[in-house]
Amino acid sequence: GQQLNQSPQSMFIQEGEDVSMNCTSSSIFNTWLWYKQDPGEGPVLLIALYKAGELTSNGRLTAQFGITRKDSFLNISASIPSDVGIYFCAGQGDSNYQLIWGAGTKLIIKP
């Protein structure tokens, strides 16, 4: 099935650094979702975006729905150790019943 292009695949960062990741698609989406998966757990919804150009924050996290409706970005400011995990983007197109997922960005904080 279709998959989003999510990058980077992994990131090694220092505590306190800002983080950016993005997802792109060849088709337009009506909804963009960002999830985080902690080790040993299921993904948890962080931010949902419903409108092109929309910018939404959740604490230190900020996500944007791209103007072209084919991309989305997630930024994390001043990273802390509990930010480690895998971040997934997901998009919803014409079907309300299926999401298209990115392969994930693994965030690792250097000791």
Quote the CA–CA distance of 88 and 74 in Å, as a whole number: 10
Round to whole Å and give the CA distance between 94 and 10.
30
Among 21, 66, 73, 102, binds other proteins (CB under 8 A): 102
Pick the piece of the chain touching other proteins (CB under 8 A) from 14-22, 58-66, 71-79, 97-105.
Answer: 97-105
Residue 49 beta carbon to other proteins: minimum distance, rounded to whole angstroms: 11
Regarding 35 and contact with other proteins (CB under 8 A), the answer is yes
Among 63, 76, 90, 109, binds other proteins (CB under 8 A): 90
User: Strands of 61-65's sheet, edge to edge?
Assistant: 5-7, 19-24, 71-76, 61-65, 55-58
